[in-house]
Structure 1
């Protein structure tokens, strides 16, 4: 974070900056953005930071990312993503929203929705239902059918890179995660990927690699106007977002299973297959589920070490351990969703 953004954040934290000093401002912070909530709007600011997959340090890069976020997320949430808004420096030196002075930063303006409509919260509270999964499966299938085909991505080398990244990142957290289990996950992943070479290449050539959502976790799905709605897709990395459609779907399937919602996960997959309009070969799904679990595992392990609250540290540590074992179980053919569909004949496994 730089001094200018500190000033911008202070400005956006004041109710008077939005023209209505009577409505409080709430703030949500992530590693890549700060979201300001006031009234019926949410204002998303890109942090001036750089990580492995993104670099928002320049004003130009943040403007480009905001434009891409608006465009890409309108594919799934056109009534949620409203516009872009500039933050300007006026002649008196003060900051203003969409003023006439020099632009110092950019915001994505979104329609605000109640936080209890987020699917991760609904999962914890037991409020997700099978009809919702039926709707969600149909929506994801519609989205994937219309998404841009990107055959230059989703190659075997990209998936091998994901396996090695997961192994490398999980190994950093040896105080939490078991080294032998991490090694077993990496070895089994490489072996399974090698056996899927022909299948995955055929899927890529057939147009199953597309510009997807890229981060389809329960936390990035909400109930908007009584419809399951995908939002906050990846805009900053084509490598992350241009993937096999089943790899995209695997994130939410894995997340449901992580919450113990195996029946809902199976219903979602069945709905997706039934609405996809193509014969879907789910043979790579075990690998994709394991990769998603491993990625989420090291993310939560890192959060466990960073958290100041001992209770939160314990909670994140427990989740990371559960996901580590889930990643290995997927590779060993012990995933309930695959067993369920194999028995019902809703998809073909060869």
Structure 2
């Protein structure tokens, strides 16, 4: 489906005989239609170097995988439904005409309770952080162990790929970020080489598991019981990771909102239920993972900002502000690592 068709589906389409009349939300790889009771997530029909949604059969496959994998975390995922077009009429679930796509149907939750919104407005509470830490600790303990071997060269590429956005940073911010990104890449390569043995040991010790893979505040609702959603289904290597890597993502995200004390509260509460820090050196790995997560989050926001700018969509400036937030956090981390910036 194309963007103009999605807009028509959201506004004029039907589900179970009722007009959807939904709010359309767009991410880098998906469209989400927010109806009165349900949300319908539709994958964009394209291919990137890390995912392939280019055919109808592939989109169906990954919709079904998304439903299966996210069922580990919450009960808001309901089913996968076909989307039909019959002339100018659109229908999700049932209908006549051409099968055009598939949607993952979810229960719609209160957007004001999404964790990033609570952080933005300063309304988050300590007890919510503690409940979230307990929930995630239980999930991690029950997640299957993955024994895929550590590959040094490919692991280096995760951090070093930040070079790919350098042209956009220079165009947007001038010389503000010149030089220190290169120093960060040099530090990352040296750290990985120095600690390669420990990365391998942790895999043997069972700390690499099939997890969420994208555990940041935008993918969490803080209801009475935390609701975790939108795990990575399109590339298993992004979610089959060390537990410290996943924890580092959420702690980094909290610190990006300047919630340093709550990042510490989250981690200490988590460790009271399950402690994946076996050796003192693991604290260094955790710090490295925070740097890597800030790096990747900045890159994702750049790609989103560039896409919105090219397509002249609102929200571009907000995304560039997020870019700066994560880049400045990464710069702070690198300073703490002893790099002269």
TM category (shorter chain) comes to 0.7 to 0.9
TM, length-normalised to structure 2: 0.86
How far is 1:312 from its partner?
5.5
Q: How far has the Cα of 1:43 moved from its partner? A: 1.1
Change in 2 beyond 3 A, CA 1:313/1:83: closer
Shift of 1:99: 3.0
Equivalent residue, structure 2, for 1:163: 159
Cα shift at 1:121: 0.5
CA contact (8 A) 1:151 1:205 kept: yes
Offset from partner CA, 1:10-59 (integer Å, 9 cap, x none): 234315444224x6321111121111122211111111122221111111
Partner of 2:336: 333
Aligned residue among 94, 99, 103 for 2:94: 99
Equivalent residues in 2 for 1:256-271, closer than 5 Å? 256-271=254-269
How big is the shift at 1:64?
0.6
How many Å apart are 1:324 and its aligned residue? 2.2
Matched residue SS, 2:41: strand
TM-score by length of 1: 0.84
Q: Tell me the distance in 1 between the aligned counterparts of 2:79 and 2:153.
A: 37
Cα distance 1:311–1:85, how it changes in 2: closer, same or farther (>3 A)?
Answer: closer
Aligned partners of 1:156 and 1:200 also within 8 Å: no
- Alignment gaps of 5+ in structure 1: 336-350
Contact 1:88 1:97 in 2 (8 A): yes
How far off its partner does 1:112 sit?
A: 0.4
1:52 matched to 2:53: no
Deviation for aligned residue 1:220: 0.5
Q: Deviations over 1:178-229 (max 9, x none)?
A: 22011111111112222221211111111211111111111011123x1222
SS in 2 for 1:13: helix
1:141 aligns with 2:115: no
CA distance in 1: counterparts of 2:7 and 2:227, whole angstroms: 28
Supply the RMSD in Å over aligned alpha carbons.
Answer: 2.7
Cα distance in 2, alignment partners of residues 25 and 320 from structure 1: 29
Q: Separation in 1 of the partners of 2:150 and 2:230?
A: 21
- The secondary structure found in structure 2 opposite 1:233 is coil
Judge conservation of contact 1:287–1:331 (CA < 8 Å) in 2: no
The residue that corresponds to 1:287 in the other structure is 288
Match of 1:117 in 2: 113
5+ residue gaps, structure 2, are none
Structure 2 partner of 1:228: 226
Query: Alignment length, in residue pairs?
Result: 329
CA apart distance, 1:269: 0.9
Once the 2 structures are TM-superposed, how far is the Cα of residue 103 of structure 1 from its aligned partner?
Answer: 3.7
Q: Distance in 1 between matches of 2:196 and 2:39?
A: 44
The answer to whether residue 33 in structure 2 is matched with residue 36 in structure 1 is yes
